[in-house]
Amino acid sequence: MRHEPTAAVRMRHALPLALGLALGAGCSNLETMRNPPPVQHSDSAGEDRDTVDAVLMAGTFQSMQHLVQAAPAEQAEIVAAAREAYEHAPQGSAKLRYALLLATPGHPARNPTQAQKLLRELAAQPESLLPPERAVALVELSQLNGELALRADNARLAQNDDLRAERERGAVAQHRLQAEMDENAKLRKQLEDAQAKLDAIANIERNLTQRKSANEGGQP
């Protein structure tokens, strides 16, 4: 018979308790984000540490879920409280919580670029996070990297489309200008030919007039 690893058993029993505690927190979410409880790294059994870790992450997940479901005014309060807690202690759990809320879709204050920056800083300082927090930070960072890379590709394609459309408009304008220049040259040539014909006719008429005058002058 296979036995689950001891850590997995502890986590399996800790998560229901953690979720129950987080869900029962209710209106205390904002106060918790303003003054997050310090992480207690005691020398007690591993089960206690796993429970503390699970409670902290479950509280963060509950805040993210509540952020999506809340009204706009409350969304702003949740993000502001997380930002205040982060500014008070710009590291560790407070930093991760703020980054995760910034990365959460469905609210006006979402800022995936800033969230990516904060998560990259946390990834560079893994010792500032608990093991479950490190895992969550790396997963979220990977997702944001993919999202922002796709957004950059789309922006690049859109820019290329704009440049291509601009080149096409320029080519059409150049073609139209060339056609107008060719038409003007054609009309100018026709005008020159017509003027040459008029000059020739005028010259013939002048010669005939002079000849006629000479003939009339020579008669007795």
Alpha carbon distance 122, 133 (integer Å): 10
Q: Which residue has the higher pLDDT, 183 or 2?
A: 183
Q: Which residue has the higher pLDDT, 170 or 81?
A: 81
DSSP states of 22-63 as a string? HHTTGGGHHHHHHSPPPP---SS-HHHHHHHHHHHHHHHHHH
State percent of the chain over pLDDT 90: 32
pLDDT at 48: 65
Alpha carbon distance 12, 86 (integer Å): 30
Could you tell me the maximum CA-CA distance found in the chain, to the nearest angstrom? 150
Least confident of 46-60, 84-98, 182-196: 46-60
The mean predicted confidence, pLDDT, of the chain is 77
Hey, where are the domains in the chain?
Answer: 9-38+48-212
Alpha carbon distance 109, 185 (integer Å): 62
Radius of gyration of the chain (CA): 41
Alpha carbon distance 186, 193 (integer Å): 11
pTM, two decimal places: 0.54
Q: Which of 25, 110, 119 is nearest to 76 (CA)?
A: 110
Alpha carbon distance 103, 141 (integer Å): 9
pLDDT exceeds cutoff 50 at 45: no
Residue 143 burial (10 A CB sphere; 0-12, 13-18, 19+) = middle
Summarize the confidence of residues 138-162 as an average pLDDT: 89
pLDDT in tens, 155-170: 888 887 777 777 788 7
Residue 127 per-residue DSSP state: G
pLDDT at 180: 81
pLDDT at 49: 65
Quickly state the pLDDT bin for 110 (edges 50, 70, 90).
Answer: very high
Summarize the confidence of residues 164-191 as an average pLDDT: 81
Summarize the confidence of residues 10-26 as an average pLDDT: 41
Summarize the confidence of residues 90-100 as an average pLDDT: 93
Q: Which residue has the higher pLDDT, 140 or 11?
A: 140
Q: Which residue bears the tokens 């007039």?
A: 209
Within 8 A by CB and 6+ apart from 28, the residues are: none
Q: Which residue has the higher pLDDT, 165 or 105?
A: 105
Q: Which residue has the higher pLDDT, 210 or 100?
A: 100
pLDDT at 217: 62
pLDDT exceeds cutoff 50 at 84: yes
Instruction: Give Cα separations from 200 to 187, 192, 193, 204, 206 (angstroms).
Output: 20, 12, 10, 6, 10
